[in-house]
Structure 1
Amino acid sequence: MGRKWANIVAKKTAKDANNSKIYAKFGIEIYAAAKSGDPDPETNQKLRFVIDRAKTYNVPKHIIDRAIEKAKGSGDETYSELRYEGFGPNGSMVIVDTLTNNVNRTAADVRAAFGKNGGNMGVSGAVAYMFDNTAIFGFESEDAEDIFEYLMEEDIDVRDVFDEDDQVIVYGEVVDFHAIQEALKAKGIEEFSIAEIQMLPQTEVTLSDEDVAQFEKMIDALDELEDVQSIYHNVELD
């Protein structure tokens, strides 16, 4: 479990290093969520979830508000959520989630990023069955066992609660995301280092140094695509 969490932290840290890019991606995601339903996060659960995630990445309030106002007003762009699955070196598996207003462009770009960097795009369902969709929370706390017992008392089943690098990490079911978050807030936890839904690999693979270099080049190429929102994989990285 700890290694999976370490990979998530590494991914988040890398994204934090490029604020303008992550802010732009969240701006689109917030706009799309607000456009797809009520632009009020109090009644639009999807929008509320995106905003909560944005806050863990320190997305400024004015960017969030601007995206919502655009959805309320003249914005007429339509975005589609699409998932692509593929393979990297030595059987490594990759899931790429996108949000796009041009499906043909995105499909071509993702396919090219795989193909030009030693990978290949598979069919839908080719690798997703090897990942578990998981609600993940990370926060500062002194006692994972206390958090686990508290959530059980609140009738919230969780997959795992453990200590990792001075943090308590909670893995739960996706349907319980908001219930877990609200329960933790009720316990006095307001700041989350991560509050996400992630595709966690059931098992991880170790690549040679040469394959790791090729794999990271492929992941970087995918991450550079403007329509890519999230990337998940099963490679154990230091």
Structure 2
Amino acid sequence: MGRKWNNIKEKKASKDANTSRVYAKFGVEIYVAAKKGEPDPESNRALKVVLERAKTYNVPKAIIDRALDKAKGSGDETYEELRYEGFGPNGSMVIVDALTNNVNRTASAVRSAFNKNGGSMGVSGSVSYMFEPTAVIGLEGKTLDEVMEIMLEADVDVRDIVEEDETVIVYAEPDQFNAVQEALKTAGITDFTIAELSMLAQNFVTLDEEPQAQFEKLIDALEDLEDVQQVYHNVEFGD
């Protein structure tokens, strides 16, 4: 699963490049998750997942608190969760998840990003069947064997545990996200390099230099959109 982890690292590095935009998107995501249930991560699983992910992006506490206070108070903004699917050059596939208060605006912006960057929109289900919803937890300071032992002792089911570049990555079913983190925290691990509920491609493709450059422009254009929260793809970037 190493190639999958590489995919996430590329996405995270891209988002890290513009922290103010990242923080604004997290503000919306936290607000929406908090409005779905209680604004308390201990009783709201969706909110807990978002907050754990926010920590790996170093989202300031002030932004988190502002979003939670808005959800607790009189905030009445309504957002819709949308998923778009499409294609890039040479068999590349893309999934775009968005939160929006204006569906027409978002649909138009996403379609334009695809069309202007060598891609095309697909119908619902045309791409997502090639991806697996997956919990991905990354950490440092422990060996693969140590993490495996922690998971066994806590009786947590995982798909795989791998080690790359001094980082141990745990892949699990989405509903095991909290169980994996709690087992690691019980073992004294409190900092995570990644904590994602992701869509991971079952198969990856590599692109030649020119189509890869075009594909990177497509991903950048999608991630730059205000309403887009997550972009997933099946391209393994070369150096």
TM-score by length of 2: 0.96
Give how far 1:107 is off: 0.9
Query: 2:232 matched to 1:237?
Result: no
Whether contact under 8 Å (2:56, 2:194) holds in the other structure is yes
Report the equivalent of 1:22.
Answer: 22
For residues 131-156 of structure 1, give each alpha carbon's deviation from its aligned partner in whole angstroms, at most 9, with x where no partner exists. 11110011113321221132123221
Q: What code does the residue aligned with 1:38 have?
A: E
- Larger mean CA deviation between 21-30 and 137-146 belongs to 137-146
Query: 2:50 matched to 1:53?
Result: no
Q: Secondary structure at the match of 1:83?
A: strand
- Larger mean CA deviation between 33-42 and 84-93 belongs to 33-42
Give how far 1:80 is off: 0.9
Aligned partners of 2:190, 2:72: CA distance in 1, in Å?
Answer: 29
Whether contact under 8 Å (2:7, 2:233) holds in the other structure is no
Report the equivalent of 2:135.
Answer: 135
Report the equivalent of 1:157.
Answer: 157
Q: Secondary structure at the match of 1:41?
A: coil
Aligned partners of 1:140, 1:59: CA distance in 2, in Å?
Answer: 20
Report the equivalent of 1:11.
Answer: 11
The total of aligned residue pairs comes to 238
- In the TM superposition, 1:1-238 aligns within 5 A as 1-238=1-238
Give how far 1:187 is off: 0.7
Q: What code does the residue aligned with 2:169 have?
A: I
Whether contact under 8 Å (2:23, 2:63) holds in the other structure is yes
Show structure 2 runs of 5+ residues with no match. none
Give how far 1:27 is off: 0.2
Aligned partners of 1:13, 1:221: CA distance in 2, in Å?
Answer: 15
Q: What code does the residue aligned with 1:8 have?
A: I
Q: Which has the higher contact order (CA 8 A, sep 6+)?
A: 2
Q: Secondary structure at the match of 2:146?
A: helix
Whether contact under 8 Å (1:85, 1:124) holds in the other structure is yes
Aligned partners of 2:17, 2:217: CA distance in 1, in Å?
Answer: 18
Show structure 1 runs of 5+ residues with no match. none
Aligned partners of 1:138, 1:111: CA distance in 2, in Å?
Answer: 33
Deviant stretches of 4+, over 2 Å: none
Give how far 1:10 is off: 2.4
TM-score by length of 1: 0.97
RMSD: 1.1
Whether contact under 8 Å (2:6, 2:236) holds in the other structure is no
